[in-house]
Each structure stands twice: as C-alpha cells, then as structure tokens.
Amino acid sequence: MLPKRYLLLPLKVFQHMLENFSPITWILITTFIITVPTLILTSQPEINIGLLNSYQDTNTKIDKTFTNGCIDTTLYLNNEKYVKQNATFIMLTRNNELNEVIESIKSIETHFNQWFQYPYVFLNDEPFTDLFKQTLQNITDSNIFFDTIDPIDWNFNNEVSSNQTIKTNINLQGDRGILYGDMESYHKMCRYYSGKFYKNKIVQNFDWYWRIEPSVKFFCDISYDPFFEMSNFNKSYAFTIMIPELYSTVPNLFRTTLSYLKLNPNISLGSLWNVFTNDYNKLDLDNYDNKNPLIEIDTNSNYLNKIVNYDEEVYDKIYEKIEIDSFLREGYQYNDDGLKKIIKKARSKIPLIDDKFNNLEYNLCHFWSNFEIAKLSIYQDPIYDNYFNYLEDQGGFWKERWGDAPVHSLGLSMILDIDDVHYFRDIGYRHDTLQHCPKNHPNQLPYISNNDKNWNERKGIKYDNVYAYGTGCRCECPTKLRRETEDNNAFCINKWYDLTHNPIKHRKPQFNLTEITNKLEKDFQRNHKPSNDDQSI
Ligand SMILES: Nc1nc2c(ncn2[C@@H]2O[C@H](COP(=O)(O)OP(=O)(O)OP(=O)(O)O)[C@@H](O)[C@H]2O)c(=O)[nH]1
Ligand SMILES: *[C@@H]1O[C@H](CO)[C@@H](O)[C@H](O)[C@H]1NC(C)=O
Ligand SMILES: *[C@@H]1O[C@H](CO)[C@@H](O)[C@H](O)[C@H]1NC(C)=O
Ligand SMILES: *[C@@H]1O[C@H](CO)[C@@H](O)[C@H](O)[C@H]1NC(C)=O
Ligand SMILES: *[C@@H]1O[C@H](CO)[C@@H](O)[C@H](O)[C@H]1NC(C)=O
Ligand SMILES: *[C@@H]1O[C@H](CO)[C@@H](O)[C@H](O)[C@H]1NC(C)=O
Ligand SMILES: *[C@@H]1O[C@H](CO)[C@@H](O)[C@H](O)[C@H]1NC(C)=O
C-alpha cells in the first residue's frame, strides 16, 4: 500500500491550481482537455502533401498501377490482345538454400505463376544437385533451366589484381564492420548481378526477367501479367521497394560514376538521374549544360556555384561578391567593409559536403534489386555495359563492396527516363527485414485456383479490408515485425513520388544569376553611394 499522503497528492495539486491559476490559464487547460482527445478520436490516417504515404493515391500520367485491384485472370488470358511474353524468372542461389528456394517458389506460384507458367532460370557458381533439381521440378509445372556459371564470369578478373590483394581488401572491409564486407562470395554475387547475369547464355534466350531470391514472400495475388503490361505501357524497368544504400559500402561509387560520364561527354542523361542525385548548381549560368553537367565551366560564376550549396545562401553570396568587386574597383571610397570581405573570402574554403563532386551528390537511393522486373536489353545498351566495365576496372567490387542495386540504379539512370520505370505498388513483397504491402483496392474477386499445387500456402488466408486508394488484389499483409516502406524512412520513395508528380527532363538551376546580380547591384548602390538627391544638396 502507498502511504496515505501520496493518495492525497492529486487533491493537493488541484487545490493549489484552484487557488493560483488565472482565468486565462483555466481556459487554456479546458481547451486542451477538450481538443486533444477530439483530435485523436477523429484523426484520419495522416496525409502529408508532397509526401507519399500508403493511404494516398499515387497514380500519375507518367506511372500508375496497371489494373484497379483484381481482374478476371481467365478473361484476361483469353483476350485476343493478350500476348504471353518472352520472359523468365531468374534466381541465383546455392544448393544448401533449397528450403528457402522452395518457400519463394511456392509463394510466387500460388500468387501469380500458377496462371501464367513463366519458366525459371536457376544460376549457381557450383553445379546444382539432382535433389535440388528434382524437388523444384516437383512444385511447379513450368519449365526450369539450371545453369552453372562459368568461373570466368563469376571470379574477379585476375589481371586486375593478385588474389592476395583482393583478399586483404575484403578482410579490411570486414574489420571495418561493413555489412557483408568480408564475404568474398557476397562481393562476387554483387558483381555478377551488376554486369554478368544478362550475358548468361540461358538468360539471353529471353527478352524479360523477373528476379527473385530465396526466402522471399508475396502477399497479394497478381491477377494480370506484369511483363505484358510493362510492354504495353512501354516500361523497361520496375521495382517495388526503394531505399538508401549504406554509405560505407559505396564511398567511391559516385566519384567513379562521374569519371565515367566525364570520359563520355556524348551521354545525354535520362531524367531518372534526377531521382538519384542532388544537384548543387543553384545559379543558372548561361553556359551551364544541363544535359551533361560534367562539362567543367571554369568561370567566376561557376566558382559562385561551388560555394553556394543551399537556396538561402544565394543572395548573401552574390551580395558579398558585389561588395568585393566594388572594393577591388574603387577601394575604400564607398565600401568600408570591402577589405574585411576580401580577407574573409580568402580565408574561407569551398564548403565541404560529404560526397559532393562537380556540384553533384549521390543521395544513396536505389531500387532494391532483389526484386526486379526488367527488359534485358537495357543492360545490353553500351552505355550501361561500358559503365560496368569501367567500374570493374576501378576494382570497386572488391576494394569496396559496391552493390548491384546502386550500380543498376545509377547506370540505368544514364539511359532511362522516369516514365520508363514502373513502381509495382500493387505487388506485396518481403525480403529480409523490409517489406512493401499495399492496401486492397475496392475491386476484389474470389480466388480461383488453376491446379494450384501449393494450395496449403493459402490455408487460413484472410484478405485485408479495402481502401479507396488501395491497389492490391487479395492481399493479406502481415502487420507484425516489419513496417510498410511507404510509411517509414520513406526519403527515397518520396523522391520518386515528387518527381512523378512534377516531371522534369533536365534539372535547371532555380536562380538566375544575371537577374539577381542586377537587383543586388542596385541595393548596393543605394546602401553605399550618395544618391542623386544627396549630390544635389
Ligand atoms: N550460387 C551462389 N549464390 C549466391 C552466393 N552468394 C550469394 N548468392 C545468392 O545471391 C542472392 C543474394 O545473396 P544474399 O547473401 O542472400 O544477400 P541478401 O540477403 O539478399 O542481401 P541484401 O538483400 O543486400 O541484404 C541469394 O539468392 C543468394 O542465394 C554464392 O556465393 N553462390
Ligand atoms: C516428387 O513428387 C513425387 C510424387 O508426389 C514424389 O514421389 C517424389 O518423392 C518427389 N520427389 C522429390 C525429389 O521431392
Ligand atoms: C587466384 O589465382 C590463381 C592462380 O593465378 C587462380 O588459379 C585462381 O583462379 C585465382 N582465384 C581467384 C578467386 O581469382
Ligand atoms: C526471346 O528473346 C530472345 C532474346 O531477344 C531471342 O533470341 C529469342 O528468339 C526470343 N524467343 C522467342 C520465342 O521469341
Ligand atoms: C508505347 O510506344 C508506342 C510506340 O512508340 C506508342 O505508339 C504507344 O502509344 C506507347 N504506349 C503508351 C501507353 O505510352
Ligand atoms: C560516346 O563516345 C565514346 C568515346 O568516344 C564512344 O565509345 C561511345 O560509343 C559514344 N557513345 C554514344 C552513346 O554515342
Ligand atoms: C536571366 O535573366 C536575364 C535578364 O532578365 C535574361 O536575359 C536571361 O535570359 C535569363 N537567363 C536564363 C538562363 O533564364
């Protein structure tokens, strides 16, 4: 039991309030007591203008979900316009991951492939065992191809460096605690997916691929053919999760990417580039080439662009330049502070932004590449393929731990526009610690199995409620453990949302240097020189 004096404490506090609080304080307290619970009780899911969240409509002219909720798959398949695509699933995996592979195949079969029967290509750096092959063939009616990767494609290029150098570098990354940094096999996997998988001889028999991995899970039914719709809508790459990369795995990737662009000034960047980079060119210079921002312009105004990083600095820095120029021209006559400003400028360094090169910075965002649906031809484009070769020559796949996800995203952003890319918002997907799972659309239809061998997978399935801006078909989203990527640390997907709503081909600096200089020049005259009126006195 609490001593009696503690029980009396609330009464004492109340008595004190009655005696000491002014009427205004009482009004404020009452308002607070009434409004806060009302707000909590009546609040809708929060909608931030300019920020995406999972209750919102994201469709735009540039990119929208292909269907509204479920469609009748049988009618869809029988429609004379429907054409099955030259497409396959791809999975790189190991014999000892068989159980995890089965999980993934059962999930994709029951939610999609039982109706569409696309084949699978399994890739491994070692031969697959008979057990592995037979077990998988038992759970799907689709064709399965198994291939052992040629060691020449899997291993690092020996000419680049001796084995020992590679090992030392990889061990060092382990010592520095970089995620998977000390796993040579992980480095090779990233390199293979960055620049080799699309050259595999079996993979080359197809136009399209859908990448899956062991232990992935799909939460909704995909009642239409994503390959066919992508082809209909002229899309060449698609994602379902977009997140930032760990900086420590790619410290020199962007610098190397820019060197590649400098060596290839004829590349005209796609608008997808804007999704992955921050541009610190704030001032519109007449000779700023926004198609390839890597052409150096070594003028005074370009110097200004280097020292101005944020909008709020623009006017200050231009004014400072006017003050200094005036002092250099006319000395102390009108400008007592001129010398101070010059000294300040001489002593100041170009402000450092961690990863800013050529006034550009990689924002670390990437399409999470363990899920991808894309056309193989985009990688066969010489701009992408040469990019991979250049990265390989720089050794970044073992000196650092460049992931295939940032490499795909940066490389493809040189050739693709935002409208070439599709966000499969209606595909619920989980890998490892991250998941995206949509709300169900009001259009739902009953599940009709097509000889679903994996019907056990669906036991006890209970479809979620529908929402006005839902996109999913028969989704059952797990609510525990993992949170929705659209609602958590959604910096990257928000960038996507912004740019699909306000499309731009090539970014243009917002501030017109000539105009602002003219205006500030006048302010400076007013502040420092006697006006005509003064002179007439
Ligand atoms: N055959 C083979 N497959 C590999 C090897 N290393 C990785 N993989 C496969 O490549 C895929 C990705 O590797 P994981 O180690 O699972 O990486 P992850 O957990 O997806 O990595 P994050 O998504 O970056 O967290 C999986 O399908 C693995 O089976 C390897 O040495 N040999
Ligand atoms: C494949 O399925 C058949 C029939 O269900 C079964 O007898 C066989 O053991 C299975 N094989 C493997 C490798 O799972
Ligand atoms: C290491 O070097 C040896 C000898 O040159 C070569 O046989 C082997 O394949 C190399 N290993 C790797 C991983 O490159
Ligand atoms: C599928 O695409 C590949 C690669 O473009 C091509 O070589 C092959 O002939 C195509 N197959 C069919 C059936 O169209
Ligand atoms: C796709 O491209 C073709 C050929 O350029 C064009 O005729 C068609 O209208 C485009 N479709 C869409 C949905 O943009
Ligand atoms: C750009 O120029 C480089 C070097 O001159 C050349 O190898 C490459 O093929 C050109 N690329 C394009 C897209 O024109
Ligand atoms: C900047 O403003 C000046 C003066 O108004 C104008 O002549 C010039 O075209 C503008 N520059 C750009 C790039 O818009």
Output the pLDDT for position 281: 82
Task: Give the mean pLDDT of 339-344.
Answer: 82
CA distance 236 to 367: 14
Output the pLDDT for position 292: 62
Pick 451 or 201 by higher pLDDT: 201
How confident is residue 406, by pLDDT bands cut at 50, 70 and 90? very high
Which ligand is closest to the CA of 213, given by its number? 1
Output the pLDDT for position 325: 85
Output the pLDDT for position 282: 83
Q: Which residues line ligand 6 (CB under 6 A)?
A: 264, 266, 382-383
Q: Tokens at residue 373, please?
A: 């649906």
- Please tell me if the CB atom of residue 135 comes closer than 6 angstroms to any atom of ligand 2: yes
Q: Whose CA is nearest to atom 10 of ligand 7?
A: 512
Output the pLDDT for position 340: 83
Task: Give the mean pLDDT of 137-144.
Answer: 93
Task: Give the mean pLDDT of 341-350.
Answer: 78
Whether residue 42 is predicted with pLDDT greater than 50 in this model: the reply is no
Pick 469 or 344 by higher pLDDT: 469
Specify the long-range contacts of residues 319-328, CB closer than 8 Å, at least 24 apart: 319/520, 319/523, 319/524, 320/345, 322/517, 322/520, 322/521, 322/524, 323/524, 326/524, 326/528
**Lowest-confidence segment of 14-23, 216-225, 377-386, 429-438 by average pLDDT:** 14-23
Whether residue 369 is predicted with pLDDT greater than 50 in this model: the reply is yes
How confident is residue 7, by pLDDT bands cut at 50, 70 and 90? low
Comparing CA positions, the residue from 245, 253, 361 lying closest to residue 309 is 361
Output the pLDDT for position 229: 98
Task: Give the mean pLDDT of 459-478.
Answer: 95
Q: Whose CA is nearest to atom 6 of ligand 6?
A: 264
Whether residue 128 is predicted with pLDDT greater than 90 in this model: the reply is yes
Write out pLDDT tens, residues 287-307: 555 556 565 544 555 778 878
- Which string of DSSP letters, residue by residue, matches 401-433? ---HHHHHHHHHHTT--GGGEEE-TT--EEETT
Whether residue 47 is predicted with pLDDT greater than 70 in this model: the reply is no
How confident is residue 143, by pLDDT bands cut at 50, 70 and 90? very high
Which ligand is closest to the CA of 95, given by its number? 1
Whether residue 275 is predicted with pLDDT greater than 60 in this model: the reply is yes
Other Cβ atoms closer than 10 A to 321: 20
Output the pLDDT for position 382: 98
- 372 in catalytic set: yes
Output the pLDDT for position 356: 77
**Lowest-confidence segment of 47-56, 340-349, 395-404, 441-450 by average pLDDT:** 47-56
CA of 533 to the centre of ligand 4 (A): 82
Whether residue 476 is predicted with pLDDT greater than 50 in this model: the reply is yes
CA distance 93 to 19: 75
Output the pLDDT for position 181: 85
Output the pLDDT for position 175: 85
- Please tell me if the CB atom of residue 155 comes closer than 6 angstroms to any atom of ligand 3: yes
Angle (CA) 99-482-459 rounded to 5° is: 55
Give residues with Cβ within 8 angstroms of 328, minimum separation 6. Answer: 338, 342
- Which string of DSSP letters, residue by residue, matches 78-125? HSTT----SEEEEEE--GGGHHHHHHHHHHHIIIIIHHH---EEEEES
Task: Give the mean pLDDT of 202-206.
Answer: 98
Output the pLDDT for position 307: 82
How confident is residue 35, by pLDDT bands cut at 50, 70 and 90? low
Pocket test for ligand 2, best of 133, 138, 451 (most atoms within 8 A of CB): 138
Whether residue 19 is predicted with pLDDT greater than 80 in this model: the reply is no
Q: What percent of the chain has pLDDT over 90?
A: 58
CA distance 296 to 290: 12
**Tell me, what DSSP letter sits at residue 382?**
H
CA distance 194 to 105: 24
Q: State the pairing for strand pair 434-436/429-431.
A: antiparallel
Pocket test for ligand 3, best of 126, 158, 183, 398 (most atoms within 8 A of CB): 158
For the chain, the distance separating the N- and C-terminal CA atoms, rounded to the nearest angstrom, is 89
- Please tell me if the CB atom of residue 510 comes closer than 6 angstroms to any atom of ligand 7: no
Output the pLDDT for position 165: 82
Q: Tokens at residue 450, please?
A: 């097509």
Pick 136 or 310 by higher pLDDT: 136
- Please tell me if the CB atom of residue 107 comes closer than 6 angstroms to any atom of ligand 1: no
Residues, the chain, total?
Answer: 537
Output the pLDDT for position 162: 65
Output the pLDDT for position 359: 83
Q: Residue 122 pairs with which residues in a beta bridge? A: 91, 146
**Lowest-confidence segment of 106-110, 277-281, 438-442, 492-496 by average pLDDT:** 277-281
- Which string of DSSP letters, residue by residue, matches 250-281? -TTHHHHHHHHHHH-TT----TTHHHHEEE--
Pick 81 or 332 by higher pLDDT: 81
> pTM of the prediction?
0.84
Comparing CA positions, the residue from 208, 193, 240, 148 lying closest to residue 429 is 240
3-state SS, one letter per residue, for 148-183? ECCHHHHCCCCCCCCHHHHHHHHHHHHHCCCCCCCC
Write out pLDDT tens, residues 160-198: 556 788 888 888 888 888 888 889 999 999 999 999 999
Active-site hit among 372, 400, 484, 486: 372
- Please tell me if the CB atom of residue 386 comes closer than 6 angstroms to any atom of ligand 2: no
Q: Tokens at residue 289, please?
A: 């080439």
Residue 114 · residue 133 · CB < 8 Å: no
Output the pLDDT for position 332: 72
Output the pLDDT for position 537: 39
